[in-house]
Structure 1
Amino acid sequence: MNSQFSRGLATESITPNGAWETQSVPRWRENPERLAWLVLLISFAIFVMLVILVPLSIRYVVRYATVSQDARLEPILGTLLVYPSATSSEPIAITGVRNDIKEGSRIVATDDSTQGTLGLITQKGSDEVLGSMQIYPNTVVDVLRIRRPFFERSPEPYQVRLALQQGQARIFTNTGSDRGLHVELQTPHGQVSFGAGSYQVSVDENQTDIIVRSGQATVIHGQNEEIVVDAGRRVWMTRDDFSHNPVSAEQNLIRNGDFSEPMFDTWQSRVEAENTTPGSINIVEREGRRIAHFIRMGEENVHTEVRLTQEVNKDVNVYDYMSLQLDVKLLFQSLAGAGYLSTEFPLRVELEYTDIYGKVERWGHGFYFRDPKEDDDPSNDNWPIRGGERIPGFKWYTYQSPNLIELLAAQGTRPARVNKLHIYASGHNYQSMVSEIYLIVR
């Protein structure tokens, strides 16, 4: 028969062989109220943590969750090659617009006559591209990441990460959207982060050069070296070195060539139309850039013209290089070629200058996409095309002139002063666009 006695934290009992045995009693049985309070406090703490963490987790997901988006690739000249991944051995030849360029793709412009445009972000429910990369010959680009927020209420920007392995590219990030666009570019020598603006990047095996045409870029080299580059400046970096002080890239004699400022502060417009519906020029935003849109749609078989002019008034005696560059997009022309006098291009650029002998001269270059020989009227087949070139329609085409100092000197006399730059569309009915106009001297 066992007998038990209460003794604080232990009890004693007699074993069958007559010996006393001491047994411990759990502490919680001594004070069950304390245990109950402990359980309540732990439960309340877990409840408070859930009340805080669940909404924060939901808010984090709503803000930062993303979904991948395909890019749009458009060849301008030649054939672009697309590898589904950077390690793929079989490329896809791209001769028309492709809207299914996915993350992980590699784009290659192979020869000296290849150009293309990579549309980075397409606005939901629209064909408008909010940023783009212009790809030039002998260039290799990897599409690493293109993301949009999963939830519309997220305030985060669109995110794009590209890698320029070699070659030249221009990047436009003027989105004009309520949601920003954050673009990062990796090169073999470092990384560049772009704000809204226009940028030019060149990569070879030894060096990366970054030119900021407009906007602001952050250049990161290594782990701790970072510099902010403003408009009109240039920096470079190699694997081991980095230009800590941005220098003047070149001098651009054209003001507001990207139309980011009020047009009439820098450009004057003129319309020519006699007793008929005149044309017009509108500044609009397309594909991540601001452009001048020349348009005239009215009565046929009457001459009209719309023109933009900028007073440049800069001496160029001290320079040995001058080149005009602009992006052109032709959408419509009812008059084939440049008309029977070769003067009515859907878009033409003309430089007015004074030579070293004081004589005012003009040099110009026009663009068209409808060939007179392809017109329904056979009488147009012999229309001449002078001072112009045929370019692809409905696509952005980058024109860069030869060195005009040497060209004009060889044709007559060297220019001493640039007076004006004219950009105009003429003919019957037409639609054309121009953007990113530069007159570079060095």
Structure 2
Amino acid sequence: MRRNPERLAWTVLSLAFAVFCALAVGIPWGVHSYLMNSTIPHDAQLQVIEGTVLVQEERKSDLTAVTESAAIAPGDEVLTDSTSWATLDLFERSHLTLYNNTNVYLAESESPRFSLSDQPNRITLNVTGGLVRIGVALPTERSTDFIVDTPHISFALEEGSYRIEVNNQGTQITVVRGQALARGKGFTLAIPQGARTQVDLSGQPADPLPAARNLIANGNFQEPLAGTWITSTTILDPARTPPRVEVVENGGRRSVRLVRREEDDGVHSEAAIRQDLDQDVRDFRRLELSLDVLLDFQSLSGGGLLSSEFPIIVRLDYKDLWGHDKFWTHGFYYQNRDGYPIATDPWGQPVGEQIPRGVWYPYESGNLLDLLGDNRPAHLTGITIYASGWNYDSQVSEVQLIVE
């Protein structure tokens, strides 16, 4: 028999009151937390532009081949190969273009379940390799936390347009429009509109640079040719003296000299330097070639009978939007005593232009993406600068191929 029923009653009453208070506070707080933080996942829409795209679904071990379109759920990964590319439309109207050999994992794609919530939409992408163009949509009813992770760094993207490339050397981001925040261990770096930055394997970003960049390595020839340029010479008659390729100093600059000045004439020969390129340019708005040319001597008039033998020719090799191998050339000459006709290229432009002899001539191609129209480059494979003809003495310097 209990000796103090009053104490027991007060204990029960106190516990009941505590439970009541906990429920009175906890239930509204739980409801509020659910209303504020509950989310809905959203699929993205994959549209194949060319080739076959593979999808690794989160709960499947086998890859799914997609040739037209498919829904991509959070947790799925999209993989393009060397022959395929695609677009990905996100639920809040943002848009991605996945170019060749690109892997993108859709880590998060969600919005608050209830309109009462003040939380933003959340999108997180993992780009593990390749090239992706991202257009982040302008927020409408609520803002979006748009995060792109790579193996080297994380970016927070505002509304705008971005180009992100991931390879074995690191990550490069170009801010076409908007602003990106690069975030890593102990730092945050703002990358403004019209700028780009390179992040190396250590995860440290370089200071932002202008978005325009030069694809040519060692175009001023300050370093030895070996390692950046491949040299070659040919002559139809192997018994004759072949041309030479050499680096020379000229007026305070270093240049490549392509020369054959022998007593015999009328024998076709070529001297060339070539640099291999592996650059997708579908995402750029400008592609412009510039170089300085000096012509000291040419024995063959103009570009020869077929407009194919100039003392300097620059050739850009590329694949077009349909994967076909194409090339664009432009030649230079200073004399055409024999009056050979100068042919026009498929775009209606002369394949060669006459320039003054013995002075440095600065050449700028203009925007080749506009000039070449439907035959514009999609992927650059190489650039060759060569002399072709009989006897010649020519130099080139300050070679640049600018993309933006």
TM-score computed with the length of structure 1 as normaliser: 0.48
Pick one of 373, 381, 387 that aligns with 1:388: 373
Instruction: Give the secondary structure class of the aligned counterpart of 2:4.
Output: helix
Q: Are the aligned partners of 1:211 and 1:235 in contact in 2 as well (CA < 8 Å)? A: no
Q: Are the aligned partners of 1:163 and 1:185 in contact in 2 as well (CA < 8 Å)? A: yes
Amino acid of the structure 2 residue aligned with 1:242:
G
Counterpart of 2:175?
A: 212
Say if 1:362 and 1:108 are closer, same or farther in 2 by CA, change over 3 A: closer
Task: Output the CA distance in 2 between the equivalents of 1:160 and 1:185.
Answer: 8
Tell whether 2:74 aligns with 1:103.
yes
Tell whether 2:151 aligns with 1:180.
no
Tell whether 2:42 aligns with 1:69.
yes
Could you give the per-residue CA deviations for residues 359-389 of structure 1, whole angstroms, max 9, x where no partner exists?
A: 99976757xxxxxxxxxxxxxxxxxxx9432
Say if 1:359 and 1:147 are closer, same or farther in 2 by CA, change over 3 A: closer
Say if 1:116 and 1:249 are closer, same or farther in 2 by CA, change over 3 A: farther
Task: Output the CA distance in 2 between the equivalents of 1:212 and 1:362.
Answer: 23
Instruction: Give the secondary structure class of the aligned counterpart of 2:159.
Output: coil
Counterpart of 1:242?
A: 203
Query: Whose radius of gyration is greater, 1 or 2?
Result: 1
Task: Output the CA distance in 1 between the equivalents of 2:101 and 2:368.
Answer: 29
Task: Output the CA distance in 2 between the equivalents of 1:38 and 1:204.
Answer: 68
Amino acid of the structure 1 residue aligned with 2:67:
T
Counterpart of 2:186?
A: 225
Q: Are the aligned partners of 1:173 and 1:181 in contact in 2 as well (CA < 8 Å)? A: no
**Identity %, equivalent residues:** 24
Counterpart of 1:377?
A: none
How well do the aligned residues superpose, as a CA RMSD in angstroms? 4.5
Q: Are the aligned partners of 2:174 and 2:211 in contact in 1 as well (CA < 8 Å)? A: no
Amino acid of the structure 2 residue aligned with 1:389:
D
Uncovered stretches (5+) of structure 2, i.e. residues with no partner: 214-285, 293-315, 322-345, 348-359, 389-395
Q: Are the aligned partners of 1:214 and 1:230 in contact in 2 as well (CA < 8 Å)? A: no
Give the aligned length. 259
Deviation at 1:245, TM superposition (A): 4.8
Structure 1 runs, 4 residues or longer, greater than 6 Å off? 356-362
Counterpart of 1:28?
A: 4
Task: Output the CA distance in 2 between the equivalents of 1:192 and 1:360.
Answer: 36
Q: Are the aligned partners of 2:152 and 2:199 in contact in 1 as well (CA < 8 Å)? A: no
Write out aligned runs for 1:363-382 (5 A): none
Counterpart of 1:152?
A: 115
Amino acid of the structure 2 residue aligned with 1:251:
A
Counterpart of 2:88?
A: 118
Deviation at 1:138, TM superposition (A): 0.7
Deviation at 1:35, TM superposition (A): 4.1
Q: Are the aligned partners of 1:133 and 1:172 in contact in 2 as well (CA < 8 Å)? A: yes
Task: Output the CA distance in 2 between the equivalents of 1:56 and 1:249.
Answer: 50
Amino acid of the structure 1 residue aligned with 2:204:
S
TM-score computed with the length of structure 2 as normaliser: 0.52
Tell whether 2:21 aligns with 1:48.
yes
Deviation at 1:244, TM superposition (A): 5.1
Instruction: Give the secondary structure class of the aligned counterpart of 1:88.
Output: coil
Counterpart of 1:93?
A: 65
Amino acid of the structure 2 residue aligned with 1:80:
V
Amino acid of the structure 2 residue aligned with 1:64:
N
